[in-house]
Amino acid sequence: RLMVHRQDEGLQGLEAEVVRCNLLDREGVRSFVKGVDAVIHTAAVISVAGGDPQGRLADVNIAGTRHVVDACLQERVGRLLHFGTIHVFDPFPLEEVLDETRPLRTEGAGAYDRTKVAGNRLVLDAVEKGLDAVILSPTSVFGPHDYYPSLLGKGISDIYRKRIPMLIPGGYDFVFVDDVVNGAVNALERGRTGENYLLSGHYLTVKQLAALIGEVGGVRTPRRIVPMPVLQAMLPVFRIQSKLTGQPALFTRESLKVLKESPQRISSAKAEKELGYRKTEIGQAMKATLDWFADAGLLHG
């Protein structure tokens, strides 16, 4: 049984009952979880815009999570698997290994980070009340069946199609969607109640990511990097362009900060030991991604 709000392209080919419901509909959520053995909560609003002027992040990531947690408690659901994010952890110090013992973010966190931290705490509070819940915290997920596409999926497509003429400094940890799915399936059976498991992949600078896309896809990709001070000076231009086009800004202060302050040594050792988590080789993962993007028509135009 699958609960969706509006978009359902990602459910193509799945043989399952589809229920349309808004996470803010408390009774609708409770009705959905009635009689199920386990709930996998993946719904969230992801944003690197920095703020939350319309309150969507708080509505979905906090209030929506509260409704899911409350419904699972009320209906005595066997297990809740809650998807958190690497963003809940304090990235500093960047040079040290980041694992599940790292404190959660407090200072300097953007709106997305704060709402996901709050969601995690709601889940852990429910564990204290008797809910069997496990948290998974993946890094930046990419792979096939990215129909919309996601921010990262659009970035991969734009680099392939040379829509981005120059690159930016920094990097991130990228994890293949198949690995995250396998980790989730194993967590349903093997995850320990109240535990958080990091699902990391491979750290790549933006330049390395572009080179990988070019190598695997057989295309020439951008190589030149725009210095960070230049990008920061251009942020007002990106904001104006966004308002005129109605499209998200190419870069924001928050997105530049994320790439600049991204830990390079994120450990998935706990998930590997307890969940049997494994990482797909990055070239193989990118090939599967580009092959699917090509079939879906996302690499043309």
Would you say residue 300 lies in a domain? no
Higher pLDDT, 10 or 44: 44
Would you say residue 44 lies in a domain? yes
The whole-number pLDDT of residue 52 equals: 82
User: Using CA atoms, how far apart are residues 155 and 175, in angstroms rounded to an integer?
Assistant: 15
The total of structural domains in the chain comes to 1
SS3 142: strand
- Token couple for 202: 């491979």
Would you say residue 301 lies in a domain? no
pLDDT class for 301, splitting at 50, 70, 90?
Answer: low
53-99 confidence digits (pLDDT tens): 789 999 999 999 999 999 999 999 999 999 999 999 999 999 999 99
Query: For residue 286, which amino acid is it?
Result: M
User: Using CA atoms, how far apart are residues 227 and 294, in angstroms rounded to an integer?
Assistant: 32
The model's pTM is: 0.95
147-158 confidence digits (pLDDT tens): 989 999 999 999
102-115 confidence digits (pLDDT tens): 999 987 788 999 99
Domain CATH code at residue 226: 3.40.50.720
Would you say residue 250 lies in a domain? yes
Q: What is the DSSP string of 189-228?
A: HHPPTT-EEEE--EEEEHHHHHHHHHHHHTS-----B--H
Owning domain of residue 148: 2-295
